[in-house]
Structures are given as structure tokens and as C-alpha cells.
Amino acid sequence: MKINDFSIPRRMSKSAFVIFFVKALRSYASLILILFTVRIFDSSDETSVMEYIIMLLSYMAVFIAISLITAFLSFYFKKYYVEDGNLIFIHGVIQHERTSIPLNKIQSLRTKSGLIYRMLDMKGISFDTLASRTEEIELILDDDDWDALLSRVETQENTQEEVQETGATEQETTENSKTIKLEVSNLNLIKGALCQNHLKGMAVLFGVLATLYNQITSVNDKAANYFIDYVETHADSSAFSVTAVLTVIVILYLVILILWMGKVFLQYFNMDIRMGEKQLFFESGLITRNSSRFSFDKVCTLYVKRNIIEDWLGCCTIMVRQALNATDEKKGADVKIYGSSYDGNFLSWWLGKDYTSSPTVISARSGYGLLGYTMRFDILISLAVAIVLCHYGQYIWLFAPIAYMLVSLAKGFLAVRRSHITLKEDYMEISNGKFAEIYNYVKYDNIEVVRMVSTPFTPYYHRVKLVISTNGTSFAIRSLKEYEAKEIYELLLLKSHND
């Protein structure tokens, strides 16, 4: 008989073992493939097809055996139960560890439901608190256990809130219990993804190419050397016209755009957002459905971005930035919403319904020192490229560094125009961005570090840098007037201590 009160230590269901086994297969697959390929290329003797098949089968047997052992160790030595309002994990093979998390202190609760998970009606669940500095432990539960455990967590949270809000009226309690549901349609998702900087897809492309190159070089050095020699041999005989280069750039841009769109669509397909008084819930994903349910208190910054296209289409990009623990630092925990117009909903939820009426205490803007800082690397790159082109007599290509510098100059002026900090009575607003206007909203009680930094030019221009850090974000506002930065510095210290 299944016990759903979690009062005694228990292992995960047997279906969880299958998921551990699939994970082990995936983690060892590339290593086994590389070893098998290296064995084929390094074989000096003539080997028959049958011998290759026997070799492959032996590698597969070892591969499956190692994966089974790994899955068994991961499954058998993990137990969990609930005792005195605490969720307790027992884990470890050689050294048994016991991790205890108070149910009412769970700040973030994430679920993962990939293809294998859904086939077995299972979910992977991770928990953490603000104080957690160790990497999370994933529980793989079936739907019944997940619903029962979630009910225990919510019951504990509600009990805690009732104790803290015993003076609330029935009407206030009813209003606070309302949950707002927001939906981002897939059409808006595509629209929002197209509004982004598509060069972000360059990271995806380079990641694919780097993985491919590493696989080639790790399998056989001769293959890598052959490829490099081929490129060097034909490089001198290839004459690229301006049209050919532009064609390659257009094709590369389209590839990057497709990769970027695919990444966004896979990760944020059918996004569902639910906003309660103290909890925020997200769920999205095409193949793997990931959800994140985290506490109001774990949000450290709300980020709202509008570039020219987003402003024209009436949408924005929102990022909910969270206080980081060990798993967040490793995997990233910020939730992004593309193609939405829900910035007012999120700001009202986090800052309060009257956030727009909060009076301004002080405001300061960056000076033109930020222009030089923004352009510093672009100037060096353009100068180096121009020198190389002049050295080889390729004067027709000088238009490229000149155009690049014009774009950099525009970027620098926009950075100066959009960089400022405003202290409201109830929160702080930090604006930055270059070709997009970005606003970061921070509560005073989330501020952990405030620093005022002088530069070598401070004695001459009386401009300084102000650095403000929370438990998950850090901001540097450069080229502020020294007296304004000092006043903001003192006010931030006073407000953060009072809050």
C-alpha cells in the first residue's frame, strides 16, 4: 500500500530507475563513441567486418553495464521523507548525507518533464532555499507523489501565512488569495524572438562548431591535421569578391537566426504564467516541459527591455532575476518572457499596485566618460584591422572598419543617453542599454553591496563609478558626478539598513 504522507523514509518509484538509466546512457554515450572510433582509426592490423561487429558489441555491453551500475547507485542510495515540517533527503553511496529543508522556507521549486519522463508519467523536482549553497538534489516522482508532496508544501506555506496575517480581514484574505494567469501565445513568442539581437544565435552556432571540432580532434589527430592542411593549401588560391563575402554573411545570418529561433521555441513553447500573492509559477517547453515555482522573496531584480522593434510592436522582454544558490549559478535560473506586454503586471505584483506613484528622491545620469568606455575595444579592433588592410594594400575594404566605428559611435552615444539611476521612495530604478532601453527595478532590502569607485580621471573630471549588488545581480553605473554618486551612496546605505 502506497503511503502518501511521506512520514517514513522511502525511495523513488521503480520508474525513476529507468530515468536514471537513460541519463547514465546519455552521459556515457559520447565517451564510448570516441573510444570506439579511436580504436578503429588506431588499428594497424587488417580487421574484418565481423571483428568490428564483435568489438562494437563488447563496447555496447560495457556501456550498458556501467550505465546500469550508475543508475542503481543513484536510485538505491537516495531516500526522502517529511518530518516535523521538514523535507529530508538521505543520499550518498560511501558517505551518507542528510539534507533538511523546511517546507515553509522553500523559495524555489522546479520541475522537469522530458519525453522519457512523460512516457513514464514522472516529473523531476528540485527544491532550494535562499540560504542553500549546495547543489540541488533532484527527486523523480510520479504524478500521485508529486501532487501529494506539493499539497504538503502548500499546506505548510498557508499555515505560516495564517500565523503571520492573523489580523487580516476576510476581504483582504480573499483578495490576496487570487491568482492571475498570464499566457504568452506562440505567435507572440516568435515575434518577441525576432525582436532580439539575433547575433545571440552566434553563441549557439559556435557551440555546435566547437563541439564538432572537439569530437574530430579527440577521435583522430590526423583528421584534424588533414582539414587544417586543406584549408591552408586552398586559402591562397581563393579570391573572394565583395559579393561572395556578403552572400556568405547573409547565409550565416540566416543560419544563426534559425538556430536562435529554434532555441527560443524549444525552451519557451506554450508558456504558462501564474502569479499569486507570494508565489510565481512558470511552465514552458516543447519537448521538455520545465516549470519553476518560486517565492516572491527570491526575486531580486525585475528586468524590462524594449528595443526599437519591440517598442514599435508594443511588446517587451521581461526577465525575472532570482537570488542565486549553487544550482542557479551553474545552470542559470532567470526566467525570460519574450513578446509580452506584461511588464505592468509583474511590476505591480512585485513592487505593489501603487508603484507608479512612488515619488522620486534623487536621480543621476552618466556623463560622456561612458562613451569612451563603451567604444574602447571597438577603437582598438578597428585600428588593428585598418592597419592590416593598409599593409596588404586592401584599401577597398577600409569601409568595413569605418562603418564599424560609426556603429560603435552611435552605440556609445545611446549608452550615455540611456544610463541613469533613480531612487524612488519605495524602490530603485537603474536604466542602461545601447540599442535597446533597459530598466532594472530593485528593492532596497535586496541590496547587499554598494561601492563608489574612483578612476584615474576622477581628480580631473570628478566622475566616479557606482557599483550596486544584490544576491543575484550587479550593476555598474559609470561616469556619475562625484557629489551625486556620494549622495546616492549614502541614501542606499541608509535605506538598505532601515529596510
Q: Could you give the 3-state DSSP secondary structure of residue 200? A: helix
The per-residue pLDDT for 263 is 84
Alpha carbon distance 343, 336 (integer Å): 12
Predicted local confidence at residue 93, as pLDDT: 80
The stretch 422-432 carries a mean pLDDT of 95
Confidence of residue 420 (pLDDT cuts 50, 70, 90): very high
| pLDDT grade for 170, boundaries at 50, 70 and 90 | very low
65 CB neighbour count, 10 Å cutoff: 10
**306, exposed or middle or buried, with CB in 10 Å at 0-12, 13-18, 19+?**
buried
CA 466 to chain centre: 25
**pLDDT digits 0-9 by tens, 17-26:** 999 999 888 8
Residue 219 pLDDT > 80: no
What's the pLDDT tens digit per position in 350-361? 998 899 999 999
Q: Which helix (H) or strand (E) holds 413?
A: helix 399-418
CA-CA distance, 317 to 197, in Å (whole number)?
A: 12
Q: What percent of the chain has pLDDT over 70?
A: 78
pLDDT in the model for residue 148: 81
Interval 35-48: pLDDT, tens: 777 766 665 556 67
What is the structure's pLDDT at 206?
A: 59
pTM listed for this prediction: 0.74
The per-residue pLDDT for 327 is: 47
Q: Which residues contact 247 (CB under 8 A, 6 or more apart)?
A: none
Domain ranges, ordered by start, for the chain: 14-166, 176-349, 370-414
Place of cell 550498458: 64
Is pLDDT above 50 for 1? no
Dump pLDDT digits (tens) for 124-133.
Answer: 888 765 555 5
The confidence band for 60, taking pLDDT boundaries of 50, 70 and 90, is: confident
Q: What is the rounded CA–CA span in Å between residue 484 and residue 463?
A: 9
CATH of domain 14-166: 2.30.29
Average pLDDT of every residue of the chain: 80
